Chain A
């Protein structure tokens, strides 16, 4: 399958390891991974902050970049960016775009997937042959959970990772408090939510807190770092891309 990687703006710039892991994982699974260099950002920050006309060029750019018919699927290591493509692009296109853009947006959104969805629903794989000998807890980010309804797909994938010690996160489905510009506009409330999330992460005794969204991990990781807690954050893709080094390699 010819799979285009959507690295997302924050993934490309700040958290390239999650995008690298996605590319390597899908390549290892036998797919032809391409990175259309015209890609930038899905526009979620603009839409969620109230700037819909400003999101239009980004929606257009996304549709143009991934509209290429040789691309079978677009995969992003981010539930919230895929959520934006799926639920917001049409709203922006219908309000401010042309009829042809509306059509393009519909076509492209239908082939855009979050990583765990793509692996489980499209490829039918729950064991990706990963090896990760660590204690891990998983935070199911809000947009993956409630916009995309990925359900337990990430957990199905994690349960099949060799030697992983997967521990349940208490109150896993409560928001970490990031919410994009919410973290700045309502910094104190955001911090109060983060404090509870970090307490729950600490309760698991995990070495790694994992999630399917780099932005939520930036928030949780930012708090863990400030408190100098030992727990590290890691994107789901990075765990799934980890393999036991071969003897001959």
Chain B
């Protein structure tokens, strides 16, 4: 029996530090600095996001009930988060009833240990993988490697990333930062038995990957997948994909291990109706994804004969405990927010340092893994946005990402204590909370005219404001504030003239 502690509520654990990929090595501005210098990356990302963006708008605008679908998606996910514990229990029971085995993993370390043990039991030292964000989040491939097990990614873009000893930079298009000549070089260098005459056209590259992967599909007895959806009432798991490589993994091997974040639940089979419309249109700009695979437990003589489901928390209940921030768990990983984000477009995904880049990553990552003080790279993520709102408009389940970013900024500031910025903000608040003090402060701002000098603009400022003047001038403050103009004779005369302009007849008479 466990001890009962009264009085102090214990908060759910975050994802542990050092396990998986929910924390970058550098703060966002520093990481962005490197990425911004890579002109090729910016061209590749700019081209790809613009293409997907245009396709998405085309296929969403053609649906007369798109907004209603978004509302439905949002409502279903909000309901799921409100009763997640009961839905998970229902789901677990349904999976077991259909012959699956369910494992619960509190964090990345537990999930990695469970999967390793399961693979070792099969006797195989190789696994094939379906593209999965959850296994990337926990660093499963890297962990398996340390245990002597080689994991092969079978999604073409993931394979490119894996063979390139690289990290994915986009949720849906992990190799978005690579162009085809770079991919050709990676294949030539890393793929066994590749034709040295390999060209860089997409068909040839795909054929080379197909040859390599076919062999893996036919010879590897264990597959590991994630899941797009888990249906509580039937225990059904779903993976949607474009290439069919995922389906090969889901059907050919003897053992299938699925790692699924606990937030991926949908209450009923019918709810798929909503999400199978929302997801492909938002992510790839397609009306329907080419392959939708669903499986429920095991079926004798057909498909994998052993099915293990690892239900992963890794900070999700910590996010769920935040009544504002939990909305981020509604995310269905479509990446529409990445494709419209002007910050992502310039910096790419690596700058976010997490498996989850872009706007949704900027709210999800700090919630899953925490913001541990001012030196934590994750504490800079909520600030990696101009709050332009494009992500909110694009999100198929209407996650209000800008408001979540603002909330996380608030939480970060609350944790940070006294900083130079906090003192400045407090001083500004004090000055601006009374018009008398504000008018005095405006007079002080007029000193800027001295700094500006004759050219009437300021081109250098001390830190931290030098970030602004590195590329932008500031005009000299005007001689007269608006409020002093308003009280001046000049202001009164101008308003008087405008007033006469409002009534041309009387104005005309007065002039005569």
Contacts and interface: CB of A to CB of B under 8 A. Distances in A.
Interface stretch (A41-49, A102-110, A111-119, A199-207): A41-49
A248 B42 CA distance: 57
Given A29-B502, A45-B428, A192-B36, A146 B390 contact: yes
A226 B473 contact: yes
Contact of B511 (A17, A24, A142, A248): A248
Residue from A52, A186, A223, A249 whose CB has the most chain B CB atoms within 10 Å: A186
A50 B342 contact: no
Interface in B474-494: 474-475, 477-478, 480-483, 485-486, 491, 494
A146 B421 CA distance: 28
B425 interface: yes
Given A188-B29, A219-B472, A222-B472, A177 B432 contact: no
B498 to A, nearest CB: 4
A12 to B, nearest CB: 4
A50 B409 contact: yes
A222 B502 contact: no
Interface stretch (A32-40, A67-75, A150-158, A159-167): A32-40
A7 B482 contact: yes
Dominant secondary structure of chain B at its interface with chain A:
helix
Dominant secondary structure of chain A at its interface with chain B:
helix
A240 interface: no
A55 B36 contact: no
Nearest to A7: B482
Interface string A131-159: 00000000000110111000000000000
B429 A57 contact: yes
B465 interface: yes
Contacts of A12: 442, 481-483
Contacts of A43: 432
Given A27-B498, A146-B392, A185 B29 contact: yes
Interface residues of B, number: 74
Interface stretch (B72-80, B301-309, B327-335, B433-441): B433-441
A28 interface: yes
A212 interface: no
Contact of B390 (A57, A175, A185, A188): A175
Contact of A177 (B342, B464, B511): B342
Contacts of B499: 27-28
Interface string A14-33: 11110110011101111001
Q: How large is the interface on A (under 10, 10 to 19, 20 to 34, 35 or more residues)?
A: 35 or more
A187 B461 CA distance: 13
A43 B422 CA distance: 14
Interface stretch (B147-155, B235-243, B281-289, B381-389): B381-389
Contacts of B383: 181-182, 185-186
B42 to A, nearest CB: 8
B389 A52 contact: no
A28 to B, nearest CB: 4
Contacts of A27: 495, 498-499, 502
Contacts of A189: 29, 32, 36, 343, 346-347, 384
Nearest to B473: A225
B509 to A, nearest CB: 12
A191 B438 CA distance: 30
Contacts of B382: 50
A8 to B, nearest CB: 9
Contacts of B118: none
Interface string A167-191: 0000001110111111111111111
A16 B485 contact: yes
A228 B180 CA distance: 39
Contact of A142 (B388, B485, B501): B388
Given A13-B445, A14-B477, A193-B386, 15 more contacts: A12-B482, A13-B477, A16-B482, A39-B435, A47-B406, A49-B421, A57-B432, A173-B390, A182-B386, A187-B29, A194-B472, A221-B475, A225-B472, A248-B508, A248-B511
11 contacts: A30-B503, A48-B409, A51-B413, A51-B429, A180-B387, A186-B28, A192-B36, A222-B472, A226-B459, A226-B472, A243-B501
